Chain A
Amino acid sequence: MAELVAYIVAGLATGAIYALAAIGFTLVWQTSQTINFAQGEYVMLPAILILAAVAFLGLPVWAAAILGAALFVVVFGLGFKLAVVDPMIRHGVLPLAIATMALAIIMKESAKDFFSSEAQTFPSPFPAGAVDVLGVSLSLQHIAIIAVAFVAIGALQWFVTATRTGRQMQATAQNPGVALILGIPVARMVMLTFAINAGLAVLASVLISPIYLAKFSNGDVIGLFAFIAAIVGGFNQVRGALAGGLIVGVVDSLAAAYISSSYRLAVPLVLLVVIILVKPEGLFGRREERRV
């Protein structure tokens, strides 16, 4: 039993990181009706930028983290909206989705060519080691990751539901035309959504890179699992993305423990297929109807 609890906590930790990335999927989906296929690379790149700031500018890690995060939010949050989404969205969803695929390749190859193709150590903000909780040995790092991710997601939920700006964001996501008539600055709200997505990606990157090591190819796995999480939970609900991330993380951990690490990737994919067949809107998603 103690072993099972340890696997579940480990799964929740990685699942919380997938959830951060999956929420980014849902935010972008709600505001621009497209899927950001570069979401995995969004989680990979901030860690590389922070390490680059340490290596090339000689900054201490904390200063590099602030600079890297700010740079990322400006370039890949706001810049992404202005340079990729705005010019492409008028041509429909498909060109934009393809553009994000291209962006993913550019981000990945740039990280490889301009920084390093090798894995790099990324400092953990949390202490190493484990702590005994009711007879279960739990990693301090995992407990901290779960706590930080939940605080971040809770803060986002509070912002979206309890503040004026958050409600304007919701209105924009639900019906931008009506929101505009009501005097909501729709363009600014959309921009804010992209900035939040980039901020969540920075947080996910800082949390996961000490475990995965910072490497240009990290986005492959993270992007896939976050995508699965968003579909499993429901692409149009933040709480769905949260639940989906946690479910995928736990399923992955249990699969690695009780089936095999070699087949662990297949199990979330099976889960994805089942969800698509049984409840295509996701476990917590709502049905959407579109006029075509």
Chain B
Amino acid sequence: MTTMSRARVLALGAALALTAAMPGSAQERVKLINVVELSGAGATAGTQWRNGIDLAVADINARGGILGRQIDIVHYDTQTNPGNTRAAVQRAIDEGTYSVLGPVFSGPIGASMQIAQRAEIAQIVGGEAAGLTRQGNQFLFRTSLSQAAAMPKLATYLKDTVKASRIAVVWVNNDFGKGGRDAMLPELQRRGIQVALDVSTEQGQADFTADAIRIRNANVDAVFVYLNEDESARFLLAARQQNVNKPMIGETTLLGARVIQLAGEAANGARGHVGLSIDAPVPAFQDFGRRYQARFNIASDHNGLKGYMAVHMIKWATERMGRFDRKGVADTLRGATITPQMEPGILITTKIEANGDLDRESFLAEVENGQQVIKATLPMINP
């Protein structure tokens, strides 16, 4: 009896050891939780971000995972609600996420980032508001250029290429829009461009007719549009209905694939600066765009690319460390420069500043015949 028991114990131990050694077994998985806007005002951006993450996870798992561990991805919908976002980030940490992915909207990021910071877990987000990385949070990392980096490029474009001296600014009254406006106004002033009309709009606003009429009747050379995806499309549709014939200039969102798709012909002629684009002359971006289209039957905008890169930032940091270390992810990412040679999934050389901001090449683009056309590539600010 005793001999039998010992044999059983040995057999059980051997089975457990074998199970642990097998790739893809339950013990060999790493959990990532994505906290994102899958409904509410941010659903368009959040869905793209989620899709990008799903594609990244599928790619990484197909290639053997991270350090041999397969990724389990879980998505929690914040409903674009800051309170829900806080709860979801806390839940993600309680459930043992390796790093927190998302959200995308700056307001919910600002409301929830302290939770991941307290837990000393890296949070990779899609937000662009300049203020996010000015709070000394060592665990917050962007996947896009900050407004502080993008707005000078755009102001120069307005001055030198559009040759505007008086412009209207249309912005959404949330953290993203207000942050962008506040970053843009000093840049315009520095270049002698006057803001003749300052139009504040609401997140989720459905009707932009009155705003379009105001702009049509204003004596301005161009319109700087800084709204979220759905609102950008609605504004462009209203502007077309009201015969607003002034150049529409925007930053990334206005020229995104989803906005072009929603606004249709009304998007033609919109131009400006884009941080990420599947139409950019970067083969890795274009390949990503094709695979995204094939899998989700929809074109990826910058948020799809950001989600894809977010997972690969975590992968690169973990493989660089050679071990799974939650706190170490943030330590490794800070100050790093990741090239596609080091990690193909990063798609383009990306420099991560000490405060979590990014620096990389970006693009000037214009919408022509329902397609985003890249007109020029802008270099990194601090290569």
Residue ranges of A at the interface with B (Cβ–Cβ < 8 Å): 3, 6-7, 10, 13-14, 112, 117-121, 128-130, 137, 139-142, 210-213, 215-218, 221, 252-254, 256-257, 260-262, 264-265
Contacts and interface: CB of A to CB of B under 8 A. Distances in A.
B240 A117 contact: no
B241 interface: yes
B38 interface: yes
Given A121-B264, A256-B210, A256-B211, A137 B240 contact: no
A119 B205 CA distance: 12
List of 3 A-B pairs having minimum Cβ-Cβ separation, nearest first: A256-B210, A130-B243, A117-B43
A120 B229 CA distance: 12
A15 B250 CA distance: 31
A257 B213 contact: yes
A286 to B, nearest CB: 32
A210 B199 CA distance: 23
Contact of B241 (A7, A129, A257, A265): A129
Nearest to B45: A118
A197 B162 CA distance: 51
A14 B209 contact: yes
A160 B27 CA distance: 71
A120 to B, nearest CB: 8
Given A212-B206, A213-B237, A253-B210, 19 more contacts: A3-B213, A117-B47, A119-B43, A119-B44, A121-B264, A128-B240, A137-B243, A142-B209, A142-B241, A211-B207, A211-B237, A213-B230, A213-B234, A215-B230, A218-B206, A221-B206, A261-B201, A262-B200, A262-B201
Contact of A118 (B43, B201, B207, B213): B43
Interface of B: 38-41, 43-44, 47, 173, 199-202, 204-207, 209-211, 213-214, 216-217, 229-230, 233-234, 237-238, 240-243, 258, 261-262, 264-266
Nearest to B38: A117
Given A128-B240, A139-B241, A121 B206 contact: no
Given A211-B206, A213-B234, A262-B200, A257 B214 contact: yes
A213 B209 contact: no
Residue of A3, A217, A254, A260 most packed against chain B (CB within 10 A): A217
A10 B242 CA distance: 10
Residue of B40, B41, B43, B229 most packed against chain A (CB within 10 A): B43
Residue of A14, A137, A261, A264 most packed against chain B (CB within 10 A): A261
Contacts of A211: 206-207, 209, 234, 237-238, 241
5 contacts: A3-B213, A130-B242, A142-B209, A257-B210, A264-B210
A173 to B, nearest CB: 32
Nearest to A255: B210
A216 B41 CA distance: 11
A253 B44 CA distance: 27
Contacts of B199: 261
A121 B261 contact: yes
A119 B217 contact: no
A163 to B, nearest CB: 35
